[in-house]
Amino acid sequence: MPIYNVPGVYVEEVPSGVRPIAAQSTSTPVFIGTGGKKDAPFGEPIAITTWTEYANTFLGEGAMTPLSHAVNGFFLNTQGRCYVLDIGGGTLTGTATSPGLSVLEAIDDIAIVAAPGYTDVASYEAVIAHCEKMRDRVAILDAVPNGRDQMAYTRVATAAPAAPAAAPEGADAAAAAGAGGGRRAVEAYRPRSSDFATVYHPWLTVKDLVTGETVAAPPSGYMAGVWARTDASRGVFKAPANTPIRGIIGVQRRVAPQEQGELNDAGVNVIRMVGRGDILPWGARTLSSDAQWRYLSVRRLFCMVEEAIADGTQWIVFEPNDKPLWNMIKRDVTAFLLGLWRDGALAGTRPEEAFFVKCDAETNPPDVVDAGRVVAWVGLAPVKPAEFIVFQVSQFSGGTTTEELNNA
């Protein structure tokens, strides 16, 4: 407390009490796999900012691995930072000597998780389960490469994809049929449903920087770069689709529009040759079975908002739980969401149509306060992508206008 004993003018800095909530990073991925270098740092997430830095640390002498293709694809499509977790010959679930994905839980700025080339059911489950546990990151999964049955990508795999069983011949065939055997195994490639995962199909054709050959590469790293580039130029609320994928030659398999309809309904995002030969991601869905979380941009927006509010309101802990605190919470969260609405992330022509924040005696009755909790209700109306553009065209009698008809 200053002492005023000399007449004059005193200028003092007084805290306003406003604590701005900042949007969190949404474009930092982690890539999991092996780069092929024998003395690489295994089992430890390493921050990488350039392809050269990755090559010096992880790249082996042989042909590029799926991990190497993914990191290269990321930096071809954006500038930024990623994490690399080299697990050597280990598994994503971890072993007694390898912690697996659990080492990623302490890194808050990871927003995207990809295990390039891991397309078995156990690997899918490990990545999805990690993202569902953390709730602040989304998985980019690679579809099974070059599957024979296109519709197998719409069926959820419960075991590693297997080739159809060979049918026995002669008497053995009759015996197998009588015992209910002789059936061909049904192929299924799709990861299970999840609000925190998405899958891309097909694989891409790219140039191997070591051998110079044209090879197939998983799309996850390239798509992580597209996500980051879209976030930087438009915002996380813009669906990362209908934009060029840099650094690729083509796709491993072309998907016809009729085939994509089935795949899109199943939440499989197709990378297609569109228009005059542009190769574009032509889908922006999650693997969710819940229509609320169907679109990737909606899921990622909510991940960002939830994390931003949680981090930006840490000062609340142990504050007196009464009306002044409730009003400050409402003020700070409202200011943050108002900024998102102005940026175009939320729908509505007025803030009241875009979001609401409620923190008062109704959300905090005496029993809640006595339990040491403060509760705020936050509702958002996210913008959703225009996935289907419909123009209804009909004939009309040319030369006659509505005005002329009315005057007749």
CATH number at residue 288: 3.40.50.11780
Is 266 contained in some domain? yes
Residue 174 predicted with pLDDT over 90: no
Separation in Å, CA 178 to CA 167, 196, 406: 13, 44, 78
- Give the chain's mean pLDDT: 89
Give the model's pLDDT for residue 177: 39
Indicate the pLDDT class of residue 1, thresholds 50, 70 and 90.
low
**Is 362 found in the same domain as 219?**
no
Work out the percent of the chain whose per-residue pLDDT is above 90. 74
Quote the domain boundaries for residue 378: 314-408
Residue range 141-157, pLDDT digits in tens: 999 999 889 999 999 99
Give the model's pLDDT for residue 88: 87
**Is 96 found in the same domain as 61?**
yes
**Is 267 found in the same domain as 231?**
yes
Is 306 contained in some domain? no
Residue 49 predicted with pLDDT over 60: yes
Mark which of 293, 328, 353 sits at the end of a domain. Answer: 293
Is 209 contained in some domain? yes
Mark which of 293, 326, 349 sits at the end of a domain. Answer: 293
Considering only residues 21 and 165, tell me which one the structure prediction assigns the higher pLDDT.
Answer: 21
Residue 165 predicted with pLDDT over 70: no
Q: What is the average pLDDT across 17-46?
A: 91
Residue 266: CA atoms inside 13 Å, Cβ hemisphere, count? 24
Is 49 contained in some domain? yes
Is 78 contained in some domain? yes
Q: Is 7 helix (H, G, I), strand (E, B) or coil?
A: coil
Residue 44 predicted with pLDDT over 60: yes
**Is 196 found in the same domain as 275?**
yes
Looking at 56-125, which runs of residues are DSSP E strands?
82-86, 112-114
Q: How far is CA 101 from the centre of its chain?
A: 17
Best CA proximity match to 54, nearest among 215, 142, 65? 65
Indicate the pLDDT class of residue 97, thresholds 50, 70 and 90.
low
The answer for residues whose C-beta is within 8 angstroms of residue 204's C-beta and 6 or more apart is 73, 216, 217, 218, 219, 222, 245, 248, 249, 250, 251, 252, 271, 279
Is 18 contained in some domain? no
Residue range 262-309, pLDDT digits in tens: 999 999 999 998 877 789 999 999 999 999 999 999 999 999 999 999
Residue 216 predicted with pLDDT over 80: yes
Q: What is the average pLDDT across 114-131?
A: 96
pTM of the model: 0.87
Is 90 contained in some domain? yes
**Is 376 found in the same domain as 347?**
yes
**Is 326 found in the same domain as 257?**
no
Q: What is the average pLDDT across 205-228?
A: 97
Q: What is the average pLDDT across 176-190?
A: 62
Considering only residues 167 and 117, tell me which one the structure prediction assigns the higher pLDDT.
Answer: 117
Give the model's pLDDT for residue 95: 66
Q: What is the average pLDDT across 362-388?
A: 95
Give the model's pLDDT for residue 175: 39
Considering only residues 23 and 353, tell me which one the structure prediction assigns the higher pLDDT.
Answer: 353
Give the model's pLDDT for residue 12: 80
Is 7 contained in some domain? no
Give the model's pLDDT for residue 401: 54
**Is 323 found in the same domain as 288?**
no
Q: Which of 23-27, 41-45, 85-89, 353-357 ranks highest by mean pLDDT?
A: 353-357
**Is 357 found in the same domain as 274?**
no
**Is 320 found in the same domain as 237?**
no
**Is 50 found in the same domain as 116?**
yes
**286 touches 199 (CB < 8 A):** no
**Is 85 found in the same domain as 46?**
yes
Please tell me the total count of domains within the chain.
2
Give the model's pLDDT for residue 111: 97
Residue 120 phi, psi (nearest 5): -85, 160
**Is 260 found in the same domain as 320?**
no
**Burial class of residue 321 in the structure, from the number of CB atoms within 10 Å of its CB (0-12 exposed, 13-18 middle, 19+ buried):** middle
Mark which of 293, 326, 359 sits at the end of a domain. Answer: 293
Q: What is the average pLDDT across 307-312?
A: 95
